Structure 1
Amino acid sequence: MSESPKKILVPVDFEEQSLIAMEQGAHVAKLIGAEIVLLYVIEASGIISRFMSKQVDDDMRKEIEAKLDELVDQLKSKHGITATKMIARGSVYDKINEVSDMVNARMIVMGASGGTGLRRRFIGSNAFRVVREASIPVITIKGKHHRDGCKNIVLPLDLTKETREKVTKAIEYAKLYGADIRVVSVLFTTDEFIVNRLTRQLSQVKSVIEKAGLNVTAEIIKGIRGEGSLGEIVVDYANKVEGDLLLIMTQQEVDFTPAFVGSAAQEVINKSDIPVLSIVPTPKKDLTEFTPY
């Protein structure tokens, strides 16, 4: 029995940001040999749905299908990628994650900001909730320009239990893109124990990445409380080193330094014009100390 094709789910609302995300999704699809599933979610907003006649509903669905068909044809003619379309009704973030499970998607690629007015809610306010609840990697796109390549992957690290898995994922994506890795850790403390521990961990991480045959730099940034949040510092660093992809994990456990979750992750997704790849860690035993393979 032949293996089912890899699939990337791309939610669209036909606004500029979601179409930029579609182009980014097409680039990834070509790299991994995947198909694209275009998803449009009709928001079921109670009162509006009750007063919408069946004729109006049918007409709207036909219009959406026609626009999706155009995008499917565009992906085929421009990129040589097989794409399919789906329309769902309900809560945007619920349906995105539900459909990703249903089609067994390998990844979700979506805009981190929508268009104007009410349609902004479609993607903008739902992006982080999708990231937080997704069981697969999610790339969120906020910048206005599609990036064809990826030369620098920015890898922010803290002292969490998922460091090893995060580094492994960074190596995997760096090899896929042919990219270098820029490791950065932010410290808001001068505690000698924590500083020494992070310095040792950073050295181990750098060594492992080098042994994987990749170019890597590693840097510690000392933050000052009240003069820039963790998310702001990471985004500024990513811009400074001309990063093409920011890799974060979304459900880490707290150790000694602030975990890169919650408001920090949301801030990165909302403020970074660089695409953000969010990885959900798998449950595992304590791996706080990074041990080389």
Structure 2
Amino acid sequence: MDKGKHCILVGIDFGKPSLTAIEQTFNLARLLKIELTLLYVIEENDFLKRFFSQRYGNESELIRSIEMELNALKQEIEGRSGIKVNTVIGKGKPHDVILKKAEELNAVMIFMGTTNSDEKIVGTTTHKVVRTAKCPVITVRAETYHDGCRTILLPLDLTAQTRQKIAWAIEIARLYAANIKIISVLSSTDDETRQNLNIQLKQARNFIELSQISCSAELIEKSPNDANQAQVILRYIDQHPEIDLIVIMTQPEEGVVNYFLDAEAQQIIRSASVPVMSIVPHEFSYPSKWLGE
């Protein structure tokens, strides 16, 4: 694969969530006319390595076994989708390897499977990749989804990085000929906050419609029974089955300590019934850096 080309990078462990994530890449890869790269990471000194090393005798046999499984999966995907697939085996801490390979391969996006658990935080690997990747990360739960993207949900607040999120939503909507639903959650009774959110909703809607994309905007009030804004957003997704993707920022304000992923972003990533595109706000986050080349 040419180093100058873009690809979609998929973290794979052969579990159902990562296999579902692969399924979600097909249309996007076709629309962007780029290849898929499946990445399997062998963790040093982890339990699975010891288990498989005992089963296969040594690390070389383990790697050969993984190569065979990856090759079989590659052939299956290419046969079903017609998309060129590359496979890579890395060694080390999964988040480090994923982030390094994403930069080496000029990944336009990273896809990762995630499970829905009762835990209050997302998995360590997903957490670290989502908060530090230079390209968007799409997390997918182990369920089936609509084939394509009809409507993109775009929650907006009053932070400065809103423009990057809007830019990505527009580009994805263009690719899929999708609609965009903008929502803002009002958590207070402050009239000034309400006014500012309504102004931003109107400006964002007008900007998106100038791009010839159908768009609606809605201000939703958080009820006393809602624990936080994430709960309001998750309920909204469940009430609108036409939504196929949600776009969020994983660090809502500059200066947020980047060792921790915002708790409400974690809740959305862990519990959303649709794929979640997470974007870390920085200069590389604009789609022109990735899709315009």
Q: Report TM bin, short chain.
A: 0.7 to 0.9
SS of 1:20's partner is: helix
Which residues of 2 match residues 233-244 of structure 1 at below 5 A?
233-242=232-241, 243-244=243-244
Which residues of 2 match residues 137-286 of structure 1 at below 5 A?
137-224=136-223, 227-242=226-241, 243-253=243-253, 262-283=262-283
1:118 matched residue in structure 2: none
Once residues 143 and 46 of structure 1 are traced to their aligned partners in structure 2, the CA distance between those partners, rounded to angstroms, is 24
2:31 matched residue in structure 1: 31
Once residues 211 and 190 of structure 2 are traced to their aligned partners in structure 1, the CA distance between those partners, rounded to angstroms, is 32
1:78 matched residue in structure 2: 80
Contact 2:185 2:220 (C-alpha < 8 Å) held by counterparts: yes
Relative distance call for 1:191 and 1:106 in structure 2 (3 A) is same
Stretch of structure 1 that moved more, 83-92 or 45-54 = 45-54
| 2:229 partner letter | L
SS of 1:126's partner is: helix
Alignment partner of 1:56 out of 53, 58, 62: 58
1:283 CA displacement? 4.5
Using the size of structure 2 for normalisation, the TM-score is 0.85
Contact 1:18 1:114 (C-alpha < 8 Å) held by counterparts: no
1:227 CA displacement? 2.5
Per-residue CA deviation, residues 36-63 of structure 1 (Å, 9 max, x unaligned), is: 1110011223688689579421111111
Question: What root-mean-square deviation, in Å, do the aligned CA atoms of Structure 1 and Structure 2 show?
Answer: 2.5
1:3 CA displacement? 8.6
Listed as ranges, the gaps of 5+ residues in structure 2 are: 256-260, 285-293
Stretch of structure 1 that moved more, 226-235 or 27-36 = 226-235
Once residues 217 and 81 of structure 1 are traced to their aligned partners in structure 2, the CA distance between those partners, rounded to angstroms, is 34
| 1:17 partner letter | P
1:193 CA displacement? 1.1
1:251 CA displacement? 2.2
Stretch of structure 1 that moved more, 139-148 or 56-65 = 139-148
SS of 2:60's partner is: helix
SS of 2:112's partner is: strand
Once residues 48 and 37 of structure 2 are traced to their aligned partners in structure 1, the CA distance between those partners, rounded to angstroms, is 27
Once residues 205 and 134 of structure 1 are traced to their aligned partners in structure 2, the CA distance between those partners, rounded to angstroms, is 26
SS of 1:109's partner is: strand
Once residues 240 and 198 of structure 2 are traced to their aligned partners in structure 1, the CA distance between those partners, rounded to angstroms, is 20
Contact 1:143 1:272 (C-alpha < 8 Å) held by counterparts: no
Alignment partner of 1:110 out of 109, 112, 123: 112
Once residues 47 and 16 of structure 2 are traced to their aligned partners in structure 1, the CA distance between those partners, rounded to angstroms, is 28
| 1:61 partner letter | I
1:6 CA displacement? 2.1
| 1:109 partner letter | F
Contact 1:17 1:114 (C-alpha < 8 Å) held by counterparts: no
Stretch of structure 1 that moved more, 265-274 or 164-173 = 164-173
SS of 1:160's partner is: coil
1:132 matched residue in structure 2: 131
Contact 1:181 1:215 (C-alpha < 8 Å) held by counterparts: yes
Relative distance call for 1:3 and 1:16 in structure 2 (3 A) is closer
Between the aligned residues of both structures, percent identity stands at 36
Per-residue CA deviation, residues 59-109 of structure 1 (Å, 9 max, x unaligned), is: 111110000001111121111111111111111111111111111111101
